[in-house]
Amino acid sequence: MESLHRDVDKRALRRFLRHQRRALSQHEQRLAAQRLCKQLKSLPEIRRARRLSLYLPVNGEIDPTPLLPWLRQRNVDIYLPVLCPFSANRLWFVAYRPDTPMVKNRFGIWEPDVRFSAQRRNRLPTWALDTLIVPLVGFDANANRMGMGGGFYDRSLAFMHRPGPSPTLIGVAHACQQVASLPVEPWDVPLQVVVSDQDCFRRQ
């Protein structure tokens, strides 16, 4: 019963936080994206990354794409998450360039079109990425993350619970998505850092 109650609470919190970010005007979104990217550029994990994944925003998610010209100038290889065609609720990470053929996935998010065999060859094993910039619905000051509820990142990054090479995980969000504290589940893959348009929180 307690677990059911907690699930209901999490669903309600998700709805509230998604409403919060969608309520931001386009101007507020643009300003937040600029401030976010300024913060990201100062992070040592971003400055030393050579293979980095970010995402294309939807539904009011904070936009990390103003970072792209700066990353390309630094010759960073850029990857985007792609819904794995052979496995439910898992992600591939596929190279993204200005000429990459794109397609909308079932959630209406643009992603590299892996129907092209050349695109599938541009896939990188997740452990080989240096840094992942990941979206989130909510976060707290200890860099705990609440995702959309589908478990895509947690399933795709489950290998990080075991020893071995793994990327740095950086969550990004609007400041209005911060909450006092979030429950931590055994399957949650911890972030190292959360960056908002106003602050930066590292896992203690």
* pTM listed for this prediction: 0.90
Count how many domains the chain has: 1
Feature table: binding site: 10-14, 56, 61, 145-153
CATH code: domain of residue 172: 3.40.50.10420
User: So what's the pLDDT on residue 1?
Assistant: 38
Q: How far apart are CA 32 and CA 52, in angstroms?
A: 21
Q: What is the per-residue pLDDT across 4-26, written as a single tens digit (0 to 9) for each? A: 345 558 888 999 999 999 999 99
Q: Which residue has the tokens 């030393």?
A: 48
Q: Residue 112 is inside which H or E element, if any?
A: strand 110-112
Feature table: binding site for substrate: 56, 61
Measured in whole angstroms, how far is the alpha carbon of residue 97 from the centre of its chain? 18
Burial 108-127 (b: 16+ CB within 10 A, else e): ebebbbbeeeebeebbeebe
| Regions of the chain with pLDDT less than 70 | 1-8, 117
User: So what's the pLDDT on residue 6?
Assistant: 54
User: Do 52 and 79 touch, CB atoms closer than 8 A?
Assistant: yes
Feature table: binding site for ATP: 10-14, 145-153
Q: Please tell me what DSSP assigns to residue 191.
A: P
Q: Give the residue numbers spanning the domain of 12.
A: 2-202
Q: How far apart are CA 22 and CA 29, in angstroms?
A: 9
Neighbours of 160 (CB within 10 A): 17
Which residue, among 111, 56, 65, 55, has the nearest Cα to 84 in the 3D structure?
Answer: 111
User: So what's the pLDDT on residue 2?
Assistant: 41
